[in-house]
Amino acid sequence: MTRRARTVLDRRTVVVLLSAVLAVAVACSVWFGLRAHELRGGSGDNLALADTEATSEVLESVGATLRAVFSYDHTNLERTERAVEMGLTGEAAAEHRERFDAVARRAAEEDLVRTSTIRSIGVRELDGETATLLVFLDQQTRSAEGGAPESRTATLDVTAEKVDGEWRVSAIDVI
């Protein structure tokens, strides 16, 4: 092969490789652009990214509700029931009431106190009337008889809705 033929072949190889790299870069740009658009909710309506005051309000309200409804004291189970009435609505309230009867019986029988702590909470989406949050919850259950506390953690996908001007949790899914 002559030197000129090799030069032409080398140039063609470079052009083909650069074209392939450019095609991959364009495809990646389009894909990342579409993913970014999806994450922003498409229409830019996700206030969690723009309205820090509204986001803080949701975080404080939902965090306080979750701490209250997932904590209990065998000497004052009514406090937890009030928290459910005030902070939960719809599916979340119905499911919690259904499960809490068994929890309350066990708490009374074994003199249990459960303390729930929010380790981390973030608003994924907020549109003014509905919010979705990701919550990392720690729970410590102690018996009046002593012994080592029982520890649990949970990762929750939470939906909250504004009802009569107040944020109320409407769905809780364990992830």
Q: What is the CATH number of the domain that holds 139?
A: 3.10.450.50
- The number of folded domains in the chain is 2
- Its domain, for residue 34, covers 9-41
Q: Which helix (H) or strand (E) holds 169?
A: strand 166-174
Question: For the residues 142-166, what does the mean pLDDT come to?
Answer: 90
104 in any annotated domain: yes
Q: What is the pTM of this model?
A: 0.71
Average pLDDT across the chain, whole number: 87
Q: Are residues 68 and 29 in the same domain?
A: no
Given a cut of 80, whether residue 150 has pLDDT beyond it is: yes
Same domain, 33 and 98: no
Instruction: Identify whether residues 144 and 110 lie together within a single domain.
Output: yes
* Chain Cα centroid distance, residue 129: 17
Tell me, yes or no, whether 79 and 152 share the same domain: yes
| pLDDT tens figures, 65-106 | 999 999 999 999 999 999 999 999 999 999 998 889 899 999
Task: Give a yes or no: residue 47 inside a domain.
Answer: no
Residue 93 and residue 66 share a domain: yes
> Taking CA 95 as the corner, what is the angle to CA 121 and CA 120, rounded to the nearest 5 degrees?
10
Label residue 154 by pLDDT band (50, 70, 90).
very high
Highest mean pLDDT among 18-27, 39-48, 166-175: 166-175
Of the candidate ranges 30-44, 108-122, 155-169, the one whose mean pLDDT is the lowest: 30-44
69 within a domain of the structure (yes/no): yes
27 and 90 assigned to the same domain: no
Lowest mean pLDDT of 43-57, 119-133, 141-155, name the range. 43-57
Task: Tell me if 58 is assigned to some domain.
Answer: yes
Q: Are residues 74 and 23 in the same domain?
A: no
Residues 30 and 83 both lie in one domain: no
Q: Which of the residue ranges 4-8, 82-86, 139-143, 159-163 would you say has the lowest mean pLDDT? A: 4-8
Based on the domain organization, do 64 and 131 belong to the same domain? yes
CA distances, 74 to each of 3, 41, 90, 158 (Å): 91, 44, 26, 26
Identify whether residues 66 and 135 lie together within a single domain. yes
Does residue 79 sit in the same domain as residue 146?
Answer: yes
Q: Percent of the chain, pLDDT > 70? A: 90
94/127 same-domain check: yes
Six-digit token string for 4: 């000129």
Per the domain annotation, does 3 fall within a domain?
A: no
Tell me the mean pLDDT in the region 50-73: 94
